[in-house]
């Protein structure tokens, strides 16, 4: 029983549970945004956005088209309102480290670290860089 308790209170399990719950709640928000805001705007611009009346015999092609349109709208909302801003925030909080000073190898013209005494490309011995 102690092993099960340790498994449940481990950080990864709790983080996963919170992520699933928040994801489900966020899914409801995105569904509402899609159904109640974006789809009516598409309807105002391009006519009725409901394709469910399109059928090929007993096959409901229109419902499938509705599902595809809904998926694309949800994917766009997630990308533009969650993924892109989050990536920008992470890039802002964790700037890329500055590149180490480099110089060109006089033999093979490849870029090497400034303090290198041997080229990793052509293995030529190099004079130390001036200090």
Per-residue pLDDT tens over the stretch 73-107: 877 877 888 778 888 888 888 887 777 788 888 88
Q: Specify the 3-state DSSP secondary structure of 56.
A: strand
User: Do 112 and 102 touch, CB atoms closer than 8 A?
Assistant: yes
Name the β-bridge partners of 113.
102
CA distance 23 to 28: 9
Domain holding 71, by residue range, is 2-93
pLDDT at 14: 66
pLDDT at 10: 66
Q: Can you give the pTM of this predicted structure?
A: 0.48
Same domain for 68 and 17: yes
pLDDT at 131: 54
Tokens read off for 35:
């159904």
Residue-wise DSSP of 95-129 = PPPPPPPEEE-TTT--EEETT-SB-TTT--B-PPP
Same domain for 113 and 81: no
Same domain for 66 and 40: yes
Same domain for 7 and 45: yes
pLDDT at 130: 66
With 80 as the cut, is the pLDDT of residue 24 above it? yes
Same domain for 7 and 54: yes
CA distance 71 to 69: 5
Same domain for 109 and 45: no
Same domain for 111 and 85: no
Residue 61: CB atoms within 10 A of its CB come to 14
């Amino acid at each position: 029983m102690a092993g099960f308790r340790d498994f449940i209170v481990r950080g990864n399990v709790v983080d996963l549970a919170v992520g699933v719950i928040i994801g489900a709640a966020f899914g409801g928000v995105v569904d509402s945004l899609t159904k109640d805001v974006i789809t009516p705007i598409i309807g105002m611009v391009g006519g009725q956005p409901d394709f469910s009346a399109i059928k090929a015999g007993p096959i409901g092609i229109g419902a499938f088209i509705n599902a595809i349109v809904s998926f694309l709208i949800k994917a766009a909302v997630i990308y533009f309102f969650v993924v892109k801003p989050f990536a920008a925030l992470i890039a802002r909080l964790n700037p890329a480290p500055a590149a180490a000073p480099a110089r060109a190898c006089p033999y093979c013209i490849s870029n090497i670290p400034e303090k290198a005494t041997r080229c990793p490309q052509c293995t030529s011995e190099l004079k130390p860089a001036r200090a």
